[in-house]
Structure 1
Amino acid sequence: MASTQVNPTRMELTRLKKKLVTAVRGHKLLKDKRDELMRQFLDLIRENMDLRLKVEKGIKDANTNFVIAKASMSNEGMHTALMVPKQGVYLESKKKNVMSVDIPVFEYNTRTADENDIYSYGFAYTSSDLDGAVKSLADVLPDMLKLAETEKACQLMAAEIEKTRRRVNALEHVIIPETQESIKYITMKLDENERSTQIRLMKVKDMMLEQAHNYQDKMTGYPVEVETVS
């Protein structure tokens, strides 16, 4: 297939050799990148699993406390307590480059530095279970943001690993073998042309020697033995 698509010239041979060197080097670099991405991806998967279990436990505890608080308080009292929040959260999204993958990094700031501002109500007419529920949600917020960050990072890294794997396979199974085949074909063609040229030159030399000896034979009248060049 490669033999019908290339010009068997020395210039093309030089170009293909340079291309092969670049392809082999790129193949090694991409394999190293793929292996490193896989290592970091597995670390993120383990971190993501731990965070998910932690977040699920925090949300479960918060829901349990809310259910207990709802049983001990009226619906109107709970709605009134949670109607006007005192604390606010501002989320900021940044990016971190890891092996040419832009991974999101979430950071948050609160409206005030006082930790007690998470409670938007007085403690006189509310249940302590409601305090525990609000505290549980406030504690699980950083882990929820970290979980969202790691899950998105896992998705982006998985896509990059797949893309890198396809490039490695294309170089390993298509580009490098085809380039090697083309180099082999051009080398054989050039060697064949060189042998053909050498044979033609030898034939021309034999013909010239034979003509020279025949001419000398006619001039002297004596037979001259013609020595052929092997």
Structure 2
Amino acid sequence: MAKQQQIKPNRMELLKLRKRLKIARRGHKLLKDKQDKLIQELMALTKEERKLRVETEDSFKHCLGLFAMTEAEMPTSSFDSIVQFPTLSTDIEMSSQQILNLKVPKFHLETDEDNPFDYGFASTPADLDLAVSQTKEALKRLVVLSEKEKAITLLAYEIETTRRRVNVLEFMLIPQLEESERDIMMKLALAEMENTSRLQRVKEIIRQH
């Protein structure tokens, strides 16, 4: 049972209590709706993340396969000299986006050049060109995957915070206010009955005299 508040049993306090109860119920509904929408967003985002994770893992596996084929087709020293010093520089630009009222980060992969090939095409197999270019695309998928995972983490935290607020309103504050309302109404009814009984006794005394 919710702990009853110590409130004076008069009509003014009853009006204040009913106003608080109305606000609490409205807040509970808004928070519950927010929680439901956040869960929907989380489920959709999780579905996207799972699909993207599989695609990203497959992309890197394919790239590693291409590099392995290239290494088998080239002298070890030549292959090592090419992959030892990568020429493609990357940077991550971060902005933000809104999911409902929650701000989540958005990542964008920036490269300093469009052509990552810094070696002679005549002395290298075509698989190397494909491996380098597909690695660049795999990195883009990895950045988007990181963005999705961060958004999922923030959404999950926001859902948990919202759920706690909903529970406080639903199982503590609202029952407490409702119990206080019933208590005041009962005491006011008893006071009204006592006043009526007292008036009747006064009338009876006056009638007898």
Could you tell me whether the CA contact under 8 Å between 2:93 and 2:109 is conserved in 1? yes
Q: CA deviation at 1:184?
A: 0.6
Counterpart of 1:17 in structure 2 is: 18
Question: 1:188-207 counterparts in 2 under 5 A?
Answer: 188-207=186-205
Q: CA deviation at 1:163?
A: 1.6
- Relative CO higher for 1 or 2, CA cutoff 8 Å, sep ≥ 6? 2
Counterpart of 2:91 in structure 1 is: 90
Structure 2: 5+ residue stretches without partners: none
Q: CA deviation at 1:12?
A: 2.1
3-state SS of paired residue (1:124): coil
Query: How many residue pairs align between the two structures?
Result: 208
Distance in 1 between the 2:9 and 2:76 partners? 87
Could you tell me whether the CA contact under 8 Å between 1:85 and 1:119 is conserved in 2? no
Structure ID, larger Rg = 1
3-state SS of paired residue (2:152): helix
Distance in 2 between the 1:187 and 1:45 partners? 50
Distance in 1 between the 2:141 and 2:5 partners? 60
Counterpart of 2:82 in structure 1 is: 81
Counterpart of 1:118 in structure 2 is: 116
Distance in 2 between the 1:29 and 1:47 partners? 27
Q: CA deviation at 1:38?
A: 1.4
Which amino acid letter does the alignment assign opposite residue 25 of structure 2?
V
Which amino acid letter does the alignment assign opposite residue 156 of structure 1?
L
CA root-mean-square deviation:
2.1
Counterpart of 2:161 in structure 1 is: 163
**1:57 is aligned to 2:65:** no
Could you tell me whether the CA contact under 8 Å between 1:84 and 1:120 is conserved in 2? no
Q: CA deviation at 1:4?
A: 5.9
Deviations 1:137-170 (A, max 9, x none): 1121221111111111111111111221222222
Counterpart of 1:7 in structure 2 is: 8
Could you tell me whether the CA contact under 8 Å between 2:5 and 2:180 is conserved in 1? no
Distance in 2 between the 1:39 and 1:56 partners? 26
Cα gap change, 1:8/1:75 in structure 2, threshold over 3 Å: closer, same or farther?
Answer: farther
Cα gap change, 1:146/1:59 in structure 2, threshold over 3 Å: closer, same or farther?
Answer: same
Which amino acid letter does the alignment assign opposite residue 148 of structure 1?
S
Distance in 1 between the 2:16 and 2:166 partners? 22
**1:39 is aligned to 2:40:** yes
Cα gap change, 1:4/1:96 in structure 2, threshold over 3 Å: closer, same or farther?
Answer: closer
TM-score normalised per structure 1:
0.81
Counterpart of 2:101 in structure 1 is: 100
Cα gap change, 1:75/1:15 in structure 2, threshold over 3 Å: closer, same or farther?
Answer: farther
Distance in 1 between the 2:199 and 2:76 partners? 108
Structure 1: 5+ residue stretches without partners: 211-225
Deviations 1:190-221 (A, max 9, x none): 121222233234334444x27xxxxxxxxxxx
Counterpart of 1:129 in structure 2 is: 127
Cα gap change, 1:95/1:4 in structure 2, threshold over 3 Å: closer, same or farther?
Answer: closer
Q: CA deviation at 1:48?
A: 0.6
TM-score normalised per structure 2:
0.89
Distance in 1 between the 2:148 and 2:163 partners? 22
Deviations 1:28-48 (A, max 9, x none): 111111111111111111111
3-state SS of paired residue (2:104): strand
Question: 1:171-190 counterparts in 2 under 5 A?
Answer: 171-190=169-188
Percent identity over paired residues:
38
